[in-house]
Structure 1
Amino acid sequence: MASSLDDYEQLASLLLPAGVRDFVAGGSGSETTLRRNRSALDAVTVTPRVLTGVSSPDPSTRLLGTPAAMPVAVAPMAYQQLVHPDGELALARAAAHAGIPYVISTLSSRPLEKIAAEATTWFQLYWLRDRSMVESLIDRAEQAGCAALMVTVDVPVMGRRLRDVRNSFQLPAEVVAANLVGARTEAHVGVAGASAVATHTASAFEPSLSWNDLEWIRRRCRLPLVVKGILDPRDARCAAEAGAEAVVVSNHGGRQLDGAPASIDALAAVVEVANCEVLLDSGVRSGTDVLRALALGASGVLIGRPLLWAMAVDAAAEALGLLTAELTQAMMLAGCATVADVAELTTGRA
């Protein structure tokens, strides 16, 4: 059994092919932002309160009106069958067991309807060149019972992920984008010195997504709207004005613009101006990180890579149980009985 979420990466690395391991672990460019996410979180200090009489902290909350056993949702991540034969179904079941929302990726390797049957889900939407397919995905998410629509706005093109380029990474034949028409794509065709996944993204995604398009989605979709990929407070304000109920402060796990700020460093300024719920994504690796995000004003976090590593060793439910235990203990040590209490803590920088 792992003693921390970081342990799962070491365990998974013994099992996964090198190309898959790099696809999961890697960031864009020189991976400056990937590293910065971790160092910036480590630099956040949280001053505990004492003599608060807390004996049994309650980490439960609501995210976008969805009940959650802790202020965490599983981040949208593509092609999860790369790390587990059941793909997204395995992680959705673990999320259901943990009592938290699971975010289905547009590029999931299992159909969104099958994933939605396993857990409380939100659907993550990439803006595709084929608008009719965008409409179809929104309709399917609504009909499948997804509780929110999360639009990712920081991928006009895929960041240059050098590990994938050097590995000439391509998807194996059995791993497909199950929600898209013509599941076998350029992502399965290897080209020396190129990422086949990036080639597919370039052909499928529409780079000119604008605020007008987001407003169209708001009119078109009945679900609560979440905008993921916000770092600038001005964009957070625009998202709320366009009708978003929440924004996700995220640099895509260091996989898009290398040199972008760490998400945790952008969080407070976004919270200050956003007239909506604010979640944090990128770099979360422990219950202490969740506490840090809450203390800085987030209502919850998304967690990604550690759960892929845990999936690879059939331990996704165990990993989420560990995260719950870590957060509960962190709340206890900080003198907080509830998630609302955490928001009152004082933070600083080491």
Structure 2
Amino acid sequence: MATPFNVAGYRRLGRRRLPRMVFDYLEGGADDEAGLRHNHAAIQASRFAPHRLADVSKRDLSTTLFGRQVSMPLVIAPTGLNGIFRHEGDLKLARAAERAGIPFALSTASNMSIEEIAQRSGGEHWFQLYVVQRDLADAFTRRAWDSGYRTLVLTTDVAVNGNRERDLRNHFDVPARYTPRTILDGATHPRWSLDFLLHGVPQLANFVSAQANDVNAQAALMSRQMDASFDWDALARLRENWHGTLIVKGILRPEDAQKCATLGADGIILSNHGGRQLDGAIAPIECLPAVCAATNLPVLVDSGFRRGEDIVKALCLGASAVLMGRATLYGLAAHGERGVISVLDLLRAEMDRTLALIGRASTADLKPDDLWSPH
């Protein structure tokens, strides 16, 4: 089978390998999934206005992110339950990020523990925090610090669970509920089923340890029953207790970005959770210029990015980096670590080609006027 030449090709391969229930978990959004479509449409609405007769014979994608050099302005986004796509999926993503010279963010809902990822992979590790219970969150942040993680990503857009109707229709749950339909689904996807049978049901590894073994907390995480009382005062307390880089994820308003800065956050991530929470939310790229104008903090962005061109558009609008979630998971589902590496290589090549074609030699040269505006 020919190697895919874009992210969409890896999506098709991943869909072919995964049972429908599992692919729908990866792909699905909230309610009518209008937010998923809008994320893509908002990115595509921007068009380049290329410069000509510029020397682009040598191009540089590298940048500095929170004081650290990275090979390109990408981060592998925190995503949960990666073990259902491939055995040790979190580790495969982390190792691919290490090879690419970019950070990897480990989710609270990972299938490998904070400690194991630190022990078995190098590179720069970030830890993404869901606050299910305050005491448990404190324990997770201590474990992350003790394991060498120096960047904490607080996710703020899950006060309640988004209405993901694909998961409801499929009765998606961990551990899986076996029905004739799910058994047939697995039987018609033998490569995935063999992997599943050989290695067993993935666990929420951060909750299955000497430090944390709370069945109720695991159930709350799976149903996104987070601490809905977590507020700005709680963020201030987290800032006091976390001595590394603190990034707040889920911001979509300039005034919220300003308040994050006032409370001492080091950066923010504009995100609508990939369209998986509030179906009617604005696309992060739509508020990117206003947020960048409102704060001097590094602003990162996710949700809907599939091409190197998409990433360059966000950089033109002021983003410091883009987080990739589904795109790298398509590679993971299709070909494991090799697939993730290939997806990252494709995105790197697309970004490099885009720079050349718009007349910019480096990501540092990108400006808003590289995009066409009729106003």
TM-score of the alignment, normalized to the shorter chain, above 0.5: yes
CA shift, 1:2, in A, is 1.0
Structure 1 residue 33, shift from structure 2 partner: 0.9
Aligned position for 1:175: 202
Report the counterpart of residue 71 of structure 2 in structure 1. 69
Q: Distance between the aligned counterparts of 1:64 and 1:81, measured in 2?
A: 29
The alpha-carbon deviation at position 182 of structure 1 amounts to: 2.9
Deviation at 1:275, TM superposition (A): 2.7
Output the CA distance in 1 between the equivalents of 2:26 and 2:61: 29
Give the match's secondary structure for 1:290.
Answer: helix
2:328 aligned with 1:297: no
1:339 equivalent in structure 2: 363
Once the two structures are TM-superposed, the CA of residue 297 in structure 1 deviates from its matched residue by 0.6
Residue ranges of structure 1 left out of the alignment (5+ in a row): 189-195
Cα drift, residue 348 of structure 1? 3.3
1:6 — aligned with what?
8
Structure 1 residues 149-160: aligned runs within 5 Å: 149-160=152-163
Change (3 A) 1:208 1:297: same
Residue equivalent to 2:275: 254
Could you tell me how far apart the structure 2 residues matched to 1:9 and 1:349 are?
Answer: 32
Secondary structure of 1:24's counterpart equals helix
Counterpart in 2 of 1:329? 353
Gaps of at least 5 residues in structure 2 are 176-199
Structure 2 counterpart of 1:191? none
- Please give the secondary structure, in 2, of the residue aligned with 1:155: coil
In the alignment, the residues of structure 2 paired with residue 110 and residue 65 of structure 1 have an alpha-carbon distance, to the nearest angstrom, of 28
CA contact (8 A) 1:177 1:184 kept: no
**Distance in 2 between residues matched to 1:19 and 1:66, nearest whole Å:** 39
Tell me, what secondary structure is at the counterpart of 1:85? coil
Once residues 342 and 233 of structure 1 are traced to their aligned partners in structure 2, the CA distance between those partners, rounded to angstroms, is 22
Determine what percentage of the aligned residue pairs are the same residue: 39
1:116 Cα offset (Å): 2.7
After the TM superposition, which of the residue ranges 169-178 and 17-26 deviates more from structure 2? 169-178
Corresponding residue SS for 1:348: coil
1:37 aligns with 2:42: no
User: Is this contact kept in 2: 1:70–1:324, CA < 8 A?
Assistant: yes
Distance in 1 (alpha carbons) for counterparts of 2:293 and 2:314: 14
Aligned counterpart, 2:302: 281
Whole-angstrom CA distance in 1 between matches of 2:238 and 2:289: 27
Give deviations 1:317-340, integer Å, cap 9, x for gaps.
Answer: 111111111111111111111111
Q: AA paired with 1:152?
A: T
1:282-327 deviation digits (Å, cap 9, x = unpaired): 0110110110000001011000001111101221111111111111
| Correspondence list, 1:101-116, <5 A | 101-116=103-118
Return the offset for 1:183.
Answer: 6.8
TM-aligned CA distance change 1:234 to 1:56, over 3 Å: same
Cα displacement string for residues 54-94 of structure 1 (whole angstroms, at most 9, x for unaligned residues): 11211001112222110000000001001011220001111
Task: Say how many residue pairs are matched.
Answer: 339
d(CA) in 2 for partners of 1:113 and 1:48?
46
| 1:147-175 Cα deviation digits (max 9, x unpaired) | 31110001101101000011110124622
Bigger radius of gyration: 2
Q: Which is helix-richer, 1 or 2?
A: 2
SS in 2 for 1:169: coil
* Residue from 112, 131, 142 that aligns with 1:127: 131
Q: Does 1:226 align with 2:247?
A: yes
Q: Shift of the alpha carbon at 1:186?
A: 8.5
Distance apart, 1:344 and its partner CA? 5.5
Root mean square deviation of aligned Cα: 1.7
* 1:263 equivalent in structure 2: 284
**Counterpart AA for 2:142:** D
Measure how far apart 1:345 and its partner are: 3.9
Q: CA deviation at 1:187?
A: 6.9
Cα offset, 1:132, TM superposition: 1.9
Of 21, 35, 38, the residue aligned with 1:19 is 21
Match of 1:316 among 311, 323, 340: 340
2:185 aligned with 1:164: no
CA contact (8 A) 2:174 2:222 kept: no
Q: Report the AA paired with residue 205 of structure 2.
A: A
